Structure 1
Amino acid sequence: MSKGATSKRTGAPAPAVSVTAGPVLEISDLTVSVRGEDGERPVVSDLSFSLARGETLCIAGESGSGKSMTALAIMQLLPQPAARIESGTIRLRDIDRGDIDLAVLDERQMRRIRGDRIAMIFQEPMTSLNPVLSIGRQLVESIEAHTSLSRAEARRRAVEALKAVRIPEAESRLKQFPHELSGGMRQRVMIAMALALKPDVLIADEPTTALDVTVQGEVLELLRDLQREHGTSIILITHDMGVVAEMADCVVIMRHGRMVEQGTAADIFARPQADYTRELLAAVPRIGTGVGRQKSAEQKSVEAEMPGSVAVVNDLHVHFDLRGGFFGQVNRRVHAVEGISFSIAPRETLALVGESGCGKSTTAKALAGLVPYHGDIVIGGRNLAGLGRDQRKAVRRDVQMIFQDPYASLDPRMRVGDLVAEPLLIHGIASKEERGQLVAALFERVGLSADQMELYPHEFSGGQRQRICIARALALRPKLIIADESVSALDVSVQARVLDLLKELQREFGIAYLFISHDMAVVENISDRVAVMYLGQIVEMGTRDQVFSNPRHLYTKRLIEAVPVPDPAKRRPRFARLDQEIPSPTRKIGEDPPKLALKDLGNGHLVAVS
């Protein structure tokens, strides 16, 4: 490290370090191959780039382009024995021992470098965290392994790292296990674990995919602080071109394992040379460009023949009791959803937005019958509260869900054709032959071929798997589809195609959508109306234009301002952080949160008042 930056082990403040000409990491002619049934094939071919101290290099490209394999090769974490570094060098600069070629180090030597000199934040935190160890133990052990701090000092640093990534009640979180945290919180734990050691090089593989825009903005600002204070170099792998524009000094565009373009962020966005780069940038959703969907006279007449709302939610409450104390009595309660009301019309898309933990997904689960609730949920004119088991099952046909992770939603042991046919089988619809014909038609409708029905989920890309999930949701011809972060894990080009597909299906089948997302740019491009949730309550609701063009609640304004603009020329100098942590929705029994009333500002634009 540069002079003064070694203070990371003692915790003393280090001087600001700017980008320098000398590379801290240099990759030359890297080729990574994977052995399959047809023999070896390259997944990264002749890749070369260098990373200067204090620089952020973004690697962008679609799934399968070789981005993550490049990162795993640098960390020597390639899946063995299937993958290997076939040729090339990965040189890490060491001022004491000279350049180190990471490509030839054994596992014992790499253990000393991982975490301390080079750290990595993975995309899926649940597979990166040990499910049987508390997050506190995992954080403290990683700090102790690379520093001379005592157990108490390591614990204090772990708490500081959790607070830095805005995890509320950080001290008590140390006792929790990964499964007790939301996906966004698990990712923040992974980021805290990497930041706690202040490494020379930080590789971040889609680190903000599962995070809300406000938390994303603060995490990106944390990464900038790390660079300013310690000269940390960052390799940022992302499909979010807004994040690339916000963070990158240099950009590498990859496709099919090869670099197709490299340059400064300003040049890549303003003057892209490769056709693929231009296609990638064209697919990026941008706030302010959402054209919405102007309804034709034919669509309006169809809606007129379908009176009433598809779904009506009135005064919905969802609480989870927590037990504590010696006798395990109920002493605290999570107010996940606290008295919200809304309706969704036929062919309408209502977007539900807000930060992680605000109650969006819990609301979706209540509508789908997956969690107990209080209040009224009316689907197709029938109140679920007054129905028996068989009647509820019939109504549930009208509500289907598309989940965030398509791979986790599909049974890996079943063929995809059987997975799409399963809802028809459960509800006793059609004969076996007819079900096969219906599934084939659904595959064709979502852009897949009937020949692919015999394949398994792992044989498809992420975008194709999400199309399979959409086909499965369509199988019962529902009136309402709940899309819970259904495109957040997809590349921008795939995301654009899936969103176009959802719009086409809505026009064709008259489906209503409850679209849950933390990506405000996507919401602005697909929604008719928007409801903003905060701590289990709706704080603003209106048409897309009302909410985005004239946001009235401070929280809504903050969400919109936090969206990174895919233009380096409009990069924010700093992201304004909150002065305090996100409040917790957990309260003592009998201590209910304050009830917010929604005031109509005109034309159905509702804003919460205390």
Structure 2
Amino acid sequence: MIVPQQAIVAPLLSVQGLTISVRDRGVVRPLVSNLSFDLRPGETLAIAGESGSGKSITSLALMGLLPANVSVTSGQLLLNGVDLARLPETRMRPLRGARIAMIFQEPMTSLNPVQMIGAQLTEAIRAHEPVSQAEAKVAAIEALRQVRISEPARRMRQYPHELSGGMRQRVMIAMALALRPAVLIADEPTTALDVTVQREVLDLLRDLQAKTNTAVILITHDMGVVAETADRVIVMQSGRLVEEGTAAQIFAEPRAAYTRELLAAVPRLGAGAERAAPVPPEAPIPIARLTKASVHYDVGANFFGRPTHRVHAALGVSFDIRPGETFGLVGESGCGKSTIAKALAGLVPHHGLIEIGGKPTSSLKAHERKALRRDIQMVFQDPMAALDPRMKVGDAVEEPLVIHRIGTPAERRARVEDLFRRVGLSTEQMSRYPHEFSGGQRQRICIARALVLRPKLIICDESVSALDVSVQATVLALLQELKDEMGMSYLFISHDMAVVENVVDRLAVMYLGQIVEMGTRDQIFGNPQHPYTQRLLDAVPIPDPARRARDYLRPSGEPPSPLHPIGEAPTLADLIDIGGGHLVAKS
């Protein structure tokens, strides 16, 4: 009998009987209870489970980054025989980043907002390697190039707020990979990434493992990512391990009822075609209409202080959103999806025409703009950055009602309590602060805040990207329920093509600030015509380990950029109707 190679390789990391507890208002309660697992060199171990199940707090314990009121109360965290839980900070600091590194879930809160990207990358490299500033800069640029960030040398001189959410996540991945650690903890590493970059990043992690035998702990709610990357899977619920096995075993024969529920909630590409609801008809006055909307900003400076280049974030974008419709915007990170959403909400200046309810937004008076903000609400991509850290979450959800003077205090409180229950949170949690919640729970709070005014249009900018699949399904069902009840419309922005197919009526595909294909859900997903749309769909992870080895053509060369010298505008895409309102740009 041949002994499997995995069985004879000693664990690189061994977690034994781990219990993590929090002291809250004088009461000690466990967050993780008696967790045990091993991780071998070159292995990918996925930890899956609902938001708040203990996945991220386990990773923070491994990194020695637990909050002050949270501690390891029992168990061992052995990295090459050294118990990380017992190490003082002076001994843990050299290991953190060099031997065990982490890609954090929320890049905006993990990056220093007052330091340039380059300074943060080179600082991380020089903290662990004896290299010069120039050598560290070369390594940093190469790390950015590996995660396919366009113009890496220019990005080094930018601040985090100047990058899109997906680009910030890629910077975090580049920072973690630059030092080639022995153990890499990836906490939702592809949450903010579109499917093509997600595919490239997962391929990059596999390449790193092949070259350096790095072990990866993948914390994710995306079961498609688990199926395509994991060797073994741990399923957690309420701080406890409920099932463990190989990826093939977990997907083919899940033993625990919770695991079966988790897999049943996974959105699958192709399932949206089974939905029989017709596309809402055209209306004389749509909820929103964009006509050749463009957003650009100037960068650089010549000798006279004048800008030298222009970033065309969005260029000639035209579409409308009908009453009761869910309109989707998909495309790569940095393609202009969020920029268009902000222009629609009046948060960034724009050129072209944007109408809300038939009224041009550029001609509205101050009091009309306030009324407009009641009708249009936005769920932002980064929930931690969208919530005031000093305000209790119940007050944050109630605040829009106070601003618009809606209802009595008792009525406002009752509406907030109802929304907390409907998004899967308890009313007792209303008195807590944002930092006391997991990333997925914070996103649910943001969704409740957007719903509290019962607006006509909700802009969902990656609104379910931080949610585990079961809660994601609940929230999407809630959004559909509210649409049916109130005739509400949505602009749904997402990189998750399977989710998009299951919720939208019509959608537009954006590339480098322009729409390259637009049509109904069935037209785009059933008959994609533009090469970029086809590439997006080919990159979607499939929640089936047996279909892991699919051919995917990796992009080569330098990623294209929306940056052009002033006076040199990109060519505007010419959309052709190929039948039934299915518009495709000439490629």
TM normalised by structure 1 equals 0.89
Instruction: Summarize the Cα distance change of 1:593–1:162 in structure 2 as closer, same or farther, 3 Å threshold.
Output: same
Aligned-residue offset at 1:429 = 4.4
What secondary structure is seen at the aligned counterpart in 2 of 1:261?
A: strand
Alignment correspondent of 2:14: 26
Residues 57 and 250, structure 1, Cα contact 8 Å, conserved in 2:
yes
1:329-478 paired onto structure 2 within 5 Å: 329-430=306-407, 435=412, 457=434, 465-478=442-455
Indicate yes or no: 2:22 matched with 1:40.
Answer: no
Alignment correspondent of 1:87: 74
What secondary structure is seen at the aligned counterpart in 2 of 1:329?
A: coil
Q: Quick one: which amino acid aligns to residue 32 of structure 2? A: V
Residues 109 and 384, structure 2, Cα contact 8 Å, conserved in 1:
no
What secondary structure is seen at the aligned counterpart in 2 of 1:607?
A: strand
Aligned-residue offset at 1:441 = 5.9
Indicate yes or no: 2:211 matched with 1:229.
Answer: yes
1:49-64 paired onto structure 2 within 5 Å: 49-64=37-52
Instruction: Summarize the Cα distance change of 1:250–1:463 in structure 2 as closer, same or farther, 3 Å threshold.
Output: closer
Deviations for 1:382-437, whole angstroms, at most 9, x for unmatched residues?
22233333333333432221222344333344455544443344344455566556
Indicate yes or no: 2:530 matched with 1:553.
Answer: yes
Q: Distance in 1 between matches of 2:86 and 2:286?
A: 64
Q: Distance in 1 between matches of 2:172 and 2:124?
A: 11
Aligned-residue offset at 1:204 = 1.0
Residues 424 and 471, structure 2, Cα contact 8 Å, conserved in 1:
no
Residues 19 and 53, structure 1, Cα contact 8 Å, conserved in 2:
no
Alignment correspondent of 1:3: none
Residues 292 and 527, structure 1, Cα contact 8 Å, conserved in 2:
no
> Which has the higher mean CA deviation after the structures are superposed, 377-386 or 203-212?
377-386
1:74 to 62, 67, 72: 62
Instruction: Summarize the Cα distance change of 1:440–1:135 in structure 2 as closer, same or farther, 3 Å threshold.
Output: closer
Q: Quick one: which amino acid aligns to residue 27 of structure 2? A: G
2:463 to 479, 483, 486: 486
Alignment correspondent of 1:5: none
Residues 150 and 561, structure 2, Cα contact 8 Å, conserved in 1:
yes
Aligned-residue offset at 1:439 = 5.0
Aligned-residue offset at 1:445 = 6.0
Instruction: Summarize the Cα distance change of 1:443–1:203 in structure 2 as closer, same or farther, 3 Å threshold.
Output: closer
Aligned-residue offset at 1:206 = 1.0
Q: Distance in 2 between matches of 1:146 and 1:55?
A: 24
Alignment correspondent of 1:511: 488
Q: Quick one: which amino acid aligns to residue 337 of structure 1? A: A
Instruction: Summarize the Cα distance change of 1:469–1:153 in structure 2 as closer, same or farther, 3 Å threshold.
Output: closer
Q: Distance in 2 between matches of 1:440 and 1:145?
A: 48
Q: Distance in 1 between matches of 2:564 and 2:56?
A: 41
Q: Quick one: which amino acid aligns to residue 235 of structure 2? A: I
Residues 199 and 232, structure 1, Cα contact 8 Å, conserved in 2:
yes
Aligned-residue offset at 1:279 = 0.8
Q: Quick one: which amino acid aligns to residue 483 of structure 1? A: C
Aligned-residue offset at 1:260 = 0.6
Structure of larger gyration radius: 1
The share of aligned pairs that are identical, in percent, is 64
Deviations for 1:533-577, whole angstroms, at most 9, x for unmatched residues?
011100000111111111111111111111110110011356432
Instruction: Summarize the Cα distance change of 1:106–1:415 in structure 2 as closer, same or farther, 3 Å threshold.
Output: closer
Alignment correspondent of 1:266: 248
Alignment correspondent of 2:562: 585
Q: Quick one: which amino acid aligns to residue 325 of structure 2? A: E
Q: Distance in 1 between matches of 2:346 and 2:73?
A: 51
Alignment correspondent of 1:6: none
Q: Name the Cα RMSD after superposition.
A: 2.6
Alignment correspondent of 1:216: 198
Aligned-residue offset at 1:29 = 1.4
Instruction: Summarize the Cα distance change of 1:87–1:452 in structure 2 as closer, same or farther, 3 Å threshold.
Output: closer
1:198 to 174, 180, 183: 180
Indicate yes or no: 2:165 matched with 1:178.
Answer: no
Q: Distance in 2 between matches of 1:546 and 1:250?
A: 38
What secondary structure is seen at the aligned counterpart in 2 of 1:133?
A: coil
Residues 52 and 441, structure 2, Cα contact 8 Å, conserved in 1:
no
Q: Quick one: which amino acid aligns to residue 549 of structure 2? A: R
Q: Quick one: which amino acid aligns to residue 87 of structure 1? A: S
What secondary structure is seen at the aligned counterpart in 2 of 1:168?
A: coil
Instruction: Summarize the Cα distance change of 1:556–1:467 in structure 2 as closer, same or farther, 3 Å threshold.
Output: same
Q: Distance in 2 between matches of 1:413 and 1:154?
A: 38
Q: Distance in 2 between matches of 1:579 and 1:587?
A: 21
Deviations for 1:61-99, whole angstroms, at most 9, x for unmatched residues?
11221111221222222223x222222222222xxxxx3
Alignment correspondent of 2:290: 313
Instruction: Summarize the Cα distance change of 1:291–1:139 in structure 2 as closer, same or farther, 3 Å threshold.
Output: same
Alignment correspondent of 1:602: 579
Q: For structure 2, which runs of at least 5 residues remain unmatched after alignment?
A: none
Residues 447 and 463, structure 2, Cα contact 8 Å, conserved in 1:
no
Q: Distance in 1 between matches of 2:79 and 2:333?
A: 37
Q: Distance in 2 between matches of 1:194 and 1:465?
A: 25
Residues 412 and 458, structure 1, Cα contact 8 Å, conserved in 2:
yes
Alignment correspondent of 1:13: none
Q: Distance in 1 between matches of 2:415 and 2:213?
A: 58
Aligned-residue offset at 1:233 = 0.9
Q: Distance in 1 between matches of 2:564 and 2:114?
A: 27
Aligned residues: 583
Aligned-residue offset at 1:169 = 0.9
Q: Quick one: which amino acid aligns to residue 183 of structure 1? A: G
Residues 415 and 455, structure 1, Cα contact 8 Å, conserved in 2:
yes
Aligned-residue offset at 1:208 = 1.1
2:521 to 539, 544, 547: 544
Aligned-residue offset at 1:477 = 3.5
Alignment correspondent of 1:523: 500
Q: Distance in 1 between matches of 2:424 and 2:59?
A: 32
2:510 to 533, 552, 568: 533
Q: Distance in 1 between matches of 2:390 and 2:124?
A: 36
Q: Distance in 2 between matches of 1:332 and 1:256?
A: 51
> Which has the higher mean CA deviation after the structures are superposed, 446-455 or 494-503?
446-455
Deviations for 1:150-204, whole angstroms, at most 9, x for unmatched residues?
3333222211111000111112222222232222222211111121111111111
Q: For structure 1, which runs of at least 5 residues remain unmatched after alignment?
A: 1-16, 94-98
Residues 221 and 575, structure 1, Cα contact 8 Å, conserved in 2:
no
Alignment correspondent of 1:9: none
Q: Quick one: which amino acid aligns to residue 495 of structure 2? A: H
Q: Quick one: which amino acid aligns to residue 124 of structure 1? A: E
Deviations for 1:256-314, whole angstroms, at most 9, x for unmatched residues?
11111100000000000001111111111110112565348xx98xx79x753211111
Residues 20 and 53, structure 1, Cα contact 8 Å, conserved in 2:
no
Residues 390 and 433, structure 2, Cα contact 8 Å, conserved in 1:
yes
Aligned-residue offset at 1:103 = 2.6
Aligned-residue offset at 1:323 = 4.0
1:150-165 paired onto structure 2 within 5 Å: 150-165=132-147
Q: Distance in 2 between matches of 1:556 and 1:336?
A: 19
Aligned-residue offset at 1:458 = 5.4
